[in-house]
Amino acid sequence: MLRRLVPGDLDALAAIQRDPEVMRFLGGPRSLALTREGLGWIIEAEREHGYGLWATILRAGGAFIGRCGLIVQDVEGVTEHEIAYQLGREWWGKGYATEAAAGIRDHARSRLGFDRLVSLIDPENAASKAVALRIGMQHERDLTFEGRPTSLFSLQNRGQAPILQGSA
Q: Per-residue pLDDT for 138 more than 80?
A: yes
Query: Strands of 138-145's sheet, edge to edge?
Result: 2-4, 53-57, 64-75, 78-87, 116-121, 148-156, 138-145
Question: 70, 104 in Cβ contact below 8 A?
Answer: yes
Round to whole Å and give the CA distance between 156 and 151.
Answer: 16
pTM: 0.87
Tell me: the pLDDT tens digits for 73-109? 999 999 999 999 999 999 999 999 999 999 999 999 9
Calculate helix-pair angle for 32-49, 10-17, nearest 10 degrees: 120
Question: 86, 49 in Cβ contact below 8 A?
Answer: no
Question: Which pLDDT does position 158 carry in this prediction?
Answer: 58
Q: What is the CA radius of gyration of the chain?
A: 15
Question: Which pLDDT does position 99 carry in this prediction?
Answer: 95
Average pLDDT over residues 161-168: 36
Q: Per-residue pLDDT for 163 more than 70?
A: no
Q: pLDDT band at 157, cuts 50/70/90?
A: confident
Tell me: the pLDDT tens digits for 109-125? 999 999 999 999 999 99
Average pLDDT over residues 54-79: 95
Domains along the chain with CATH numbers: 2-156 (3.40.630.30)
